[in-house]
A and B are shown apart, each in its own frame.
Chain A
């Protein structure tokens, strides 16, 4: 490549990739994409009051334990969260409950638990770590038996 062609190539590629990186600035503050992003999730205002959609296992004596990501979707917590939210949104919470119950039934560490709930719980995020771990309110989308 000639020196002039080499310089032109450098500037075209540079301009293109820098434009890609800067593109989120031209969009609304909630815009997100990949691999260009302004990381908006770290920028948003977060109220103390937060809802968490999750799958919870219940025992006959009243104990409960959140079902971890590998038993819900895979070992990525954010993917598990997205799977649960999508199931609730599409009215598939009962089906998700049944699918997760099958996986929980096969795991011996969960032998004490007999029921599953797909629920959205509301907490005060700061008080939670002061001991207020009981949800302020709870919306149960599905309940199913863990059959062994």
Chain B
């Protein structure tokens, strides 16, 4: 096998359609709940003072904020599309449409002077899944095809690359965060008081803005010796994130480290990153179709109608 063919096999491994379908259901369900819970916030962008509009990302296409009802309408549309995404209904259209709608409504909500970094990976993963053949199994589209007498799809590289890409985006995001620390501060990020000061500042800001804060983080700020080891661990797991591609065991170890990192952020700064803390960020690294959650879908495929002769 040539080098090109080997690299191609690495990036586009022959993969069961159910693995990508499982990722669609998991990430789609998370996004559906997220949009539903955040609907008032996403829609509220229509009532902000127009002077505060600071477009970023795709909203830089706008010359000014959207007229009042439109952000709410788009958020509601995103919610409807999220449902179609999860159940895999007309996915060739609704998949990319939901990805675009989610990108738009979250970016628009972030275009008012404060960027919320808890949504980045979710949006990127939905883009990947929305642009892949992610509803060829365990979907209404698949049920319709089976009812029409078509055989279930065979394992294929087209189900492999979206998983690889989603995993690479997860890993790449952490590497980028590590590089940003080195670009800003070099090894001082580990050896100086940067991490302690940041945790103290973040908690102080929350107290003085009348919000909940981490009492544990506030108490630990009095012990500066704790922070260089924590900083070294954080930077290490970020920069070494590509090791997750070495195999399933490595992926599991790295995912647990990353999860522990976010647990630490929650404990010390009271910042809740739901997507990684609930495990969704690391899902593309694993054989999701084997999860007990999908037992019923594995056992109960839609009935195949005999083709009309």
Contacts and interface: CB of A to CB of B under 8 A. Distances in A.
Interface of A: 6-7, 10-11, 13-14, 17-18, 20-22, 24-25, 29, 32-48, 50, 52, 54, 65-69, 71-72, 74, 76-83, 85-86, 90, 121, 123, 125-126, 128-130
Contacts of B253: none
B177 interface: yes
B128 interface: yes
A51 to B, nearest CB: 10
A68 B211 contact: yes
B123 interface: yes
Interface of B: 8, 11-12, 41, 44, 49, 51-52, 56-57, 103, 106-107, 110, 112-117, 119-121, 123-124, 127-128, 131-132, 157-158, 161, 164-165, 168-169, 172-173, 176-177, 179-181, 183-185, 188-189, 192-194, 196-198, 200-201, 203-211, 218-219, 221-222
B172 A32 contact: no
A17 B115 contact: no
B177 A129 contact: no
Contact of A32 (B41, B115, B179, B203): B115
A129 B200 contact: yes
Contacts of A7: 8, 12, 157
Contact of A21 (B131, B176, B184): B176
A32 B176 CA distance: 12
28 contacts: A10-B12, A10-B157, A11-B11, A13-B131, A20-B124, A21-B176, A32-B115, A34-B110, A35-B103, A38-B177, A43-B189, A44-B194, A45-B192, A46-B201, A66-B208, A67-B210, A74-B41, A77-B211, A80-B211, A86-B49, A86-B51, A86-B113, A125-B197, A125-B200, A126-B221, A128-B204, A129-B204, A130-B222
A36 B206 contact: no
Most central of A6, A42, A48, A67 by chain B CB within 10 Å: A42
Given A7-B8, A21-B173, A29-B183, A66 B197 contact: no
A17 B117 CA distance: 18
Contacts, number: 189
B115 A68 contact: no
A38 B176 contact: yes
Contacts of B172: 18, 21-22
A25 B179 contact: yes
Contacts of B194: 44-46
B287 to A, nearest CB: 20
A43 B183 contact: yes
A130 B196 CA distance: 14
A14 B185 contact: no
A126 B203 CA distance: 10
Nearest to B224: A126
A12 B211 CA distance: 45
A34 B184 contact: no
A28 to B, nearest CB: 9
B177 A39 contact: yes
B176 A35 contact: no
A129 B221 contact: yes
A66 B44 contact: no
Nearest to B38: A76
B197 A126 contact: yes
A69 B189 CA distance: 31
Contacts of B173: 21
Contacts of A82: 52, 112-114
